[in-house]
A and B are shown apart, each in its own frame.
Chain A
Amino acid sequence: MARFGRPARTRVTTMAAMNSSSPLRWLLRAGVAVLAPGAGAAAAATDVPDPMQQRVAACASCHGARGEGLPGDAKVPRLAGKPAAYLQQQLASFQSGRRHHAAMEYVVRQLSPDYLRQIAEYFAAQQVPYRRQAAPAVAAAAMQRGEQLVRHGDPSRGVPSCASCHGDTLTGVEPMMPGLAGLSYAYIDAQLDAWRTHQRVADGPGCMVVVANRMTGDDVAAVAAWLASQPPPADMHPVPAGAQREPLPGWCVPGNGGVNP
């Protein structure tokens, strides 16, 4: 398993595993000691250390306490280490109804843009080792097709390579491009299908809608299978802005969104 330079914290507090020394208990004792009953929540928030992990318990139950994703739930994406601006945009999209998922839409609906940013930054800053995804069983030819599409695209169908936008290392590009490495087959497959059927749409240029619609159903499965079967690279950080190997296709440049080749 790939690891980051910085050792991962081993003590991960979950809702179910609170003990007497947990940050929450400390926080509660401090809160109880300081606050008279009836004092607003704001006072509690300023008088105690800032356990963001505790605040976002609603996220943790599906995405993991630090956004590392939960084993056994392949449809829920990992959040840790994704570009902050990307995460913030997705949260805002769930809020505005642009992106659909009933549970996500309900959870984020009452949050301010500023708090959404802080939550996005919290998960973006988490460095948790990637878990190797279960490799789906697909034919060798499909695996080859998947690798071809990811690395080189299919010029005959006008499909750019995944790497051309998501970075050569497939770990994403700051500030807005999410990584593809380390995601599960189920999640990639579901998202590509969502782009194909316009269930998922983007704020800016609708590149993914166009790209996904140029792929066949078999292409989608092949790409998802190949990506999910790769060992996560040692350094999972998104590459800095401007470090992309080739420029985005002309129709996929922000401001050019209406152009659908």
Chain B
Amino acid sequence: MKRWWRRGILIFVLLGMALLGWWLFAPGCVQQMPPAQLEAEAAKLRAPALIARGEYLAAVGDCAACHTERGGQRYAGGRVLATPFGDVPAPNITPDPETGIGRWSFEDFWRALHEGKGRRGEPLYPVFSYTSFTKVTRDDALAIFAWLKSLPPVHQPDRAPRLAFPYSVRSSLLAWRALYFKPGVYRPDPARSPEWNRGAYLVQGLGHCNECHTTRNAWGGMEQDRHLAGGTIPVQDWYAPDLGTQPGGGLAGWSSQDIVDLLKTGQSARGVAFGPMADVVRNSTQHMSDVDLQAVAVYLQALPARAPAPAPATYTQAASHAQGGELYARQCAACHGKQGEGAPGVYPPLDGNSSVTAPTATNAVRSVLLGGFAPATVGNPRPYSMPPFAQQLSDDEVAAVVNYIRQSWSNRASAVWPAEVGRLRHTPVD
């Protein structure tokens, strides 16, 4: 009797495991559309006005940035997106029937964008920002789909993600989604102006600004109460600043014009786009209409004031401060001015520059190490540049000059230590 009982438990456990395995690993199936319906949809998607609108919206969403490999064909995928959980190569979204989205219906596309689910119903990895794209309207999604379908097909098979267990099991996403993903198209706030609502739609939805500008927790989820309040981008290790322009915000004091200038030309009176934001300006925001950029500015201007940050401990090593000042005079002052005032329209000021005084010195340190050009845009086709100092300055020297800049004039930001400079020196540039 006892033996039967034991055997029963074993069978029950095995059955349970089989069920769990099926639930975790079962292949989904594609929902096929009748051919006549597919043809009708294809005809609708060929409307030139729809395609043109889709091209604009795809630029706003910066789809090409992830879905294009460096040096590769646009939208053909292959760019490997590194996350703390592993690498996910972006798929081919040209209309190639075998390797792209050639056989996708609009419903398939809508499900991916709105629900974060693949063509077989499998949950997609949220490195694809459906957490934001879910807010995109069906009309806009249709236009983007029409644009993608109008592209020349490129035959380029997708590569499989390389993720650590348990993230490699897609069903593990079900728990993540329950916690951090709320599907739903953007709902306008009737108490706000149409311009504000347009800005909110662009920033929260298609523009997916939150994906970088909001702190992520250990599971990669966005902290809801930290909406656009800044955060370090995982793996890339750039600090995406708080976008608040009210007192205490990362862009405190930025006017609407400053925001529009930066997004349109890559440069404003207050700062320059660099690192990943330079990519965003070059690929995406410089192509946005003035009306949309203005709406974004209105929305950002209306973000709430932030609680004032605690005053950072002052850097008290006088010798290092003197060394920093000497380095500043020799290497930086010629362009950025003796008092960090910059040169309007040419070199950004450092006094009061939010990239300099950010909560972390990461961006200041990396800018000193890497230098580089402001992005070349239609509005600023021949940008000025900053020399990279990685080859010239030691970790001690970079720390000294960054601390000097972060704690001179009106700037009061925390100190950085040489060891941190050493770490950032070896952080790969994507």
Contact = CB atoms under 8 A, between A and B. Distances in A.
Interface of A: 15-18, 24, 27-28, 31-32, 35, 37-45, 54-62, 95-98, 102-103, 105-112, 114-115, 118
A207 to B, nearest CB: 21
B375 interface: yes
Nearest to B380: A41
A111 B380 contact: no
A107 B345 contact: no
B56 interface: no
A118 B376 CA distance: 12
Interface stretch (B118-126, B253-261, B404-412): B253-261
A115 B382 contact: yes
Given A15-B331, A106-B429, A118 B382 contact: yes
B344 A16 contact: no
Given A56-B385, A58-B387, A39 B370 contact: no
Interface string B350-376: 000000000000000000001111111
Contacts of A110: 266, 278-279, 282, 372-376, 383
A41 B346 contact: yes
A99 to B, nearest CB: 10
Nearest to B334: A18
B235 interface: no
B233 interface: no
Contacts of B384: 41, 54-55, 57
Q: Chain A: interface secondary structure?
A: helix
B344 A35 contact: yes
B81 interface: no
A31 B267 contact: no
A98 B344 contact: no
Contacts of A60: 387
B428 to A, nearest CB: 8
Nearest to B71: A96
A58 B345 contact: no
A102 B264 contact: no
B381 interface: yes
A112 B376 contact: yes
B372 A115 contact: no
Contacts of A59: 385
Contacts of A55: 382-385
A107 B373 contact: yes
Nearest to A107: B372
A43 B381 CA distance: 11
Contacts of A40: 261, 264-265, 267-268, 345, 379-380
Contact of A39 (B282, B344, B386, B389): B344
A15 to B, nearest CB: 5
A58 B375 CA distance: 13
A31 B346 contact: yes
Contact of A106 (B264, B379, B388, B392): B388
Interface string B307-351: 000000000000000000000001100110000000111100000
Contacts of A32: 343-344
Nearest to A96: B71
Contacts of A58: 371-373, 385-388
A75 B264 CA distance: 38
B32 interface: no
13 contacts: A16-B334, A35-B344, A42-B379, A45-B382, A55-B385, A61-B387, A61-B392, A62-B391, A102-B428, A103-B390, A107-B385, A110-B279, A111-B373
